[in-house]
Amino acid sequence: MGLRLPSWSYDPPHPGYWEPVTSTIQWCEEDYYATPYAAEIVNTLTNLMFVFLAFKGIRNCRKHGHDTVFLVAFVGYLLVGMGSFLFHATLKYPMQLVDELSMIYTTCLMNYATFSYSKSRQYALTLALGLISLAMFITLYYHYLQDPLFHQNAYAILTVVVLARSMYVMEFSLRPSLRKNEEHFKLHHRMSMTADQKEVSRSDDRRNEQILATMWLLIGTGLTIFLSGFGIWQLDNIFCSELRTWRREVGLPWGILLEGHGWWHLLTGIGAYFYLTWGIWLRHCLNGRQEQYNLVWPTMISLPKIVRSEYSNGIVAPDVAKKIR
């Protein structure tokens, strides 16, 4: 006989406190099998990852004086988690809108932070009005269509745009070989620089190269985590009937590990936190504060954060990045 882990069977669905279901979409997790007060218990509780990381990010922003836009972004991140918690607990259409539209609004905010940086007040105002109009259009058209695919595509496009723009700004603002205007300036003023000034310039270039290497490691890790969550969620959608059968075969609590949408919450929550942390560090670097702020990320399995240099205690980034020096 094979070894079988201790488990207990899934109960038949309970009458739900929040019934009837009014949302336009449901997930692969069965409804009300654990408690009458949460339609999808795993999909509900995994959103606590967003809540935890949001408060961690808000506290970090307040303690270390990061730009206000990132504090607001973490508040939006918190609303995403709370909205998703309420949506999966109730499967009510208004809570679905809170969940899904808060994702759109927070991503629009990050687009504003990225595209308005170092631009004129008039440009920033025009951009803000454009993004507000876009968010309103998505809200109204989505409410009219009530098609989750429209929301998912809109969110994906906004996310890809802000990520690509942030990468572009990072490379062309920090990588010495791509800073055309600065290199032109250096070439025409090299003769007037003292030996110490030349060494300082070269030291700044080496520092920025090291920061870029660590930033790309941070981006790669966050993207890998985020896309892993997306991939698991897609498998959850494709093989839902098989997964439900396997969950009932293995019983509780092990069946929880086969809840793909729950893994989507955990992994995309962490991936989004990595993105916000990178955004904070990039903004400080663009403002010339590389010496005032450090990335604290002792190991690849730890959560990164940006702190003032006096708080870093010499622990900055994983050894993988340090080897590039």
Query: Tokens in use for 138?
Result: 């998505």
Quick one: pLDDT at residue 323? 41
Quick one: pLDDT at residue 325? 40
Quick one: pLDDT at residue 322? 46
Q: Average pLDDT across each block of 10 residues of the chain; the chain has 325 residues. List them in order.
A: 74 90 94 94 97 98 95 96 97 96 96 93 96 97 94 96 96 79 52 58 79 95 96 96 94 95 97 97 93 92 92 58 42
Quick one: pLDDT at residue 300? 86
- Nearest 5°: the CA angle 104, 219, 119 is 60
CA atoms in the 13 A half-sphere facing the CB of 216: 13
Does residue 297 contact residue 317 with C-beta atoms inside 8 Å?
yes
Quick one: pLDDT at residue 253? 93
Q: What is the DSSP string of 253-309?
A: TGGGGG-HHHHHHHHHHHHHHHHHHHHHHHHHHHTT-TTTEEEE--STTSPPEEEEG
Quick one: pLDDT at residue 242? 96
Quick one: pLDDT at residue 324? 39
Quick one: pLDDT at residue 1? 46
Query: Tokens in use for 282?
Result: 């990039």
* Among 170, 168, 179, 166, CA closest to 211: 170
CA–CA distance, 38 with 28 (Å, rounded to integer) = 15
Give how far Cα 36 sits from Cα of 18, 85, 178, 306, 324, Å: 8, 15, 59, 42, 54
Quick one: pLDDT at residue 6? 87
pTM of structure: 0.89
